[in-house]
Amino acid sequence: MNKSKRPFTKSKRSFRRRLPPIQSGDRIDYRNMSLISRFISELGKILSRRVNRVTLKQQRLITIAIKQARILSLLPFLNNQKQFER
């Protein structure tokens, strides 16, 4: 019998910690288009918090900023370019 002493040990896999998408110096507002456009899908939808990997407070600020940018016509409400290509 060749049993190890610790049968339920965790494997020592190394993993790289993902960097947060929003740095501490970034301001979340409707004018920061380079930041806001990262959180919108190809169809123009706001991505979920799990996909974005942001905190709840950051997600709320992102959502408000995207909606303000849409109202001011900085962002489209829908991106229907794929439908028009047919």
Contact 3/16 with Cβ under 8 angstroms? no
> For the whole prediction, is pTM greater than 0.75?
no
For residue 56 the two structure tokens come to: 């709840």
**pLDDT tens-digit map of 2-32:** 666 666 666 677 777 777 788 878 889 999 9
Contact 21/54 with Cβ under 8 angstroms? yes
**pLDDT tens-digit map of 47-83:** 999 999 999 999 999 999 999 999 999 998 887 766 5
H helix intervals, 8-85: 33-36, 49-52, 56-71, 81-84
Contact 30/72 with Cβ under 8 angstroms? yes
